[in-house]
Structures are given as structure tokens and as C-alpha cells.
């Protein structure tokens, strides 16, 4: 034997542990078709386990999206300044898209103008009451 092989400071051959020529290096073994099939089945099984482990995440995301669905869609034309403001919110990562940013701004605008909307609703209620009064006063005359 050579001095190198007997030297305790240089174990496992010329390449050292895990190096080419060392004992931890494995040579590729020729595979039979049976082992290829078992590897394929193992890969498929692993993929299926991974996919099914993600199902709860997907369901949770779907539920969250369903809860956040808005019932009404409208087409809105914006000024350049308003469009830029919406795009700024999206670019900053605050909202995922322009529709979400626009919906937020509309909702916040409505909240900020709550007293105005209360006055408008009050007047609309009054108008409806007067219309009903008119219908009632005209109805008896129409039945004659």
C-alpha cells in the first residue's frame, strides 16, 4: 500500500471523503426497467401528496375571494388625475388591481360624504311620500 492510503490524516482515498475516488462516492448503478417504474410511481405519489396538501390553501383563498365579491359592476370614466391616483395605489402594492383601488376610493368617498347622502335620502323619502299622496288623490277620480 502507498503511504497515502495508510495516512490517518488523509482518510478515504486520494479524493478524501465524498470526493471522486473516495469511499463515499457512489457509481451510478444501471437501473432495470422495474426500478424506473417504481421511481415514476414514487414521483407521481409525491406530486399527488403535494397537490392534496395544498387543497386547503386553495379552498381558503376561494372562500376569501367569494366573500370579497362585489355584487354590482359599473363602467366609470375617470379624469387623468383620478386615473393616476388609482394607478399609484396599485403600483404601491396597496391594491391588486385598478378595480379594487377604485372601489375602495368610492367607498371612502361615500363615507366621507355621509351627511350629504343622509340629506339626499331624506329628500328622496319626502318626494316618494308626495308622489304617493298624489296617486291617492288622483285614484278616486280615475275610478269614476
Q: CB of 117 within 8 A of CB of 109?
A: no
Q: Report the distance separating Cα 90 and Cα 127, nearest Å.
A: 41
Quick: pLDDT tens for 74-118.
899 999 999 999 999 999 988 889 998 898 899 899 999 999 999
43 lies in which domain range? Answer: 34-69
Is 139 domain-assigned?
Answer: no
Place of cell 366573500: 67
Phi, psi of 75 (to 5 degrees): -100, 130
Cell of 38: 417504481
Is 48 domain-assigned?
Answer: yes
Quick: pLDDT tens for 115-130.
999 999 999 999 999 9
Residues near 25 by Cβ (< 8 Å), separated by ≥ 6? 15, 18, 19
* Total number of domains in the chain: 1
Distances (CA, A) of 73 to 55, 69, 80, 101: 30, 10, 21, 14
Cell of 64: 376569501
- Give pTM, 2 decimals: 0.45
Q: What confidence category does residue 18 fall into, taking pLDDT thresholds of 50, 70 and 90?
A: very low
Cell of 137: 288623490
Is 2 domain-assigned?
Answer: no
Is 39 domain-assigned?
Answer: yes
Amino acid at each position: 500500500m502507498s503511504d497515502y492510503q495508510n495516512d490517518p490524516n488523509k482518510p478515504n482515498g486520494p479524493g478524501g471523503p465524498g470526493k471522486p475516488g473516495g469511499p463515499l462516492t457512489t457509481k451510478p448503478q444501471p437501473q432495470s426497467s422495474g426500478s424506473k417504474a417504481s421511481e415514476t410511481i414514487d414521483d407521481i405519489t409525491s406530486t399527488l401528496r403535494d397537490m392534496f396538501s395544498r387543497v386547503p390553501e386553495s379552498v381558503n383563498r376561494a372562500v376569501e375571494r367569494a366573500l370579497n365579491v362585489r355584487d354590482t359592476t359599473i363602467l366609470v370614466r375617470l379624469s387623468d388625475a383620478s386615473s393616476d391616483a388609482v394607478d399609484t395605489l396599485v403600483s404601491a402594492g396597496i391594491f391588486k388591481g385598478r378595480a379594487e383601488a377604485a372601489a375602495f376610493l368610492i367607498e371612502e368617498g361615500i363615507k366621507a360624504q355621509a351627511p350629504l347622502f343622509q340629506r339626499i335620502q331624506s329628500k328622496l323619502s319626502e318626494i316618494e311620500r308626495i308622489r304617493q299622496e298624489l296617486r291617492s288623490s288622483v285614484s278616486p277620480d280615475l275610478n269614476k
